[in-house]
Amino acid sequence: MKKFTNEVKKLVLAVKRDLDEYLKKDPAARSRTHVALTSAGYHALFLYRISHMLWNLNLFWLAEILHYYTRVAYSIDIHPAAKLEAGVVIDHGIGTVIGSTASVGSGTLIYHGVTLGSRRVVSGKRHPDIGRDVIIGAGAKILGPIIIGDRARIGANSVVLEHVPEGQTYVGIPAKSSKKTTRKEVAL
């Protein structure tokens, strides 16, 4: 029972933090109610958080059924085993895929069509780890067990196949360093 209570507390805190970040980073967000009722990205994130809680409670079938519903309803695929810290924003979200061994840090902004995927079929760690306060542009593909450092920026439609150092901007196919990103530039 204690594990269940702890998971519910984590869920509630994450949902509140997600809403706070949406209000900061989504210019279309007019209020908490507006985000909670109209944002597909937020809905998918909220349902992911419930499926992740179920996954952590070893209720895998329930987690996978909710995951399937979310994928069909919102065209956003976040595996219940993925680890997303509280305070992630998925703007629009359509076509976003986040694999089972991926992790995403707080303050990260993910635009539509982003894939945090694997490069090959292997067991174990195969998806990227995204740092905190990262911005990932629309259509970007970040593939493999790589690390994207805190405050990095990934350009739209970039394909990232290597580690990205903290504070760097990467663009292109394959993505290469463009310039150093300052803290002021990252703050939306």
Domain of residue 60, CATH code = 2.160.10.10
Q: Please check the confidence at residue 188 and state whether its pLDDT lies above 50.
A: no
In this structure, the dihedral spanned by the alpha carbons of residues 89, 91, 27 and 109, taken in order and rounded to 10 degrees, is 40
**Spatial CA neighbour of 10 closest among 52, 61, 42:** 52
Quick one: tokens of 135? 């911005």
Average pLDDT over every residue of 64-69: 97
Tell me the pLDDT tens digit for each residue of 44-54. 999 999 999 99
pLDDT band at 29 (very low <50, low <70, confident <90, very high): confident
Q: Which residues contact 86 (CB under 8 A, 6 or more apart)?
A: 13, 14, 16, 17, 18, 106
Residue 187, pLDDT score: 47
Q: How far apart are CA 92 and CA 44, in angstroms?
A: 10
Neighbours of 37 (CB within 10 A): 10
- Is residue 184 pLDDT above 80, yes or no? no
Q: What is the model's pLDDT at position 1?
A: 83
DSSP symbol at 50? H
Q: What is the predicted pLDDT for the residue at 183?
A: 57
pLDDT at 26: 85
Which residues are CB-neighbours of 2 under 8 A, at least 6 positions away? none
CB contact set of 38 (below 8 Å; sequence gap of 6+): none
For strands 89-90 and 109-110, give the pairing: parallel
Q: Whole-number mean pLDDT of the chain? A: 93
pLDDT, residue 173, reads 93
CA dihedral 45, 46, 49, 53 (to 10 degrees): -160
Q: What is the pLDDT of residue 27?
A: 85
pTM > 0.75: yes or no: yes
pLDDT at 182 over 90: no
10-24 per-position pLDDT tens digit:
999 999 999 999 999
- Tell me the mean pLDDT in the region 155-178: 95
Cβ–Cβ under 8 Å, residues 118 and 126: yes
Residue 99 is predicted with a pLDDT of: 97
Q: How confident is the model at residue 122 (pLDDT cuts 50, 70, 90)?
A: confident
Q: Which domain holds residue 123?
A: 2-186
Count: domains in the chain? 1
Give the model's pLDDT for residue 178: 86
Q: Once rounded to an integer, what is the mean pLDDT over residues 89-95?
A: 92
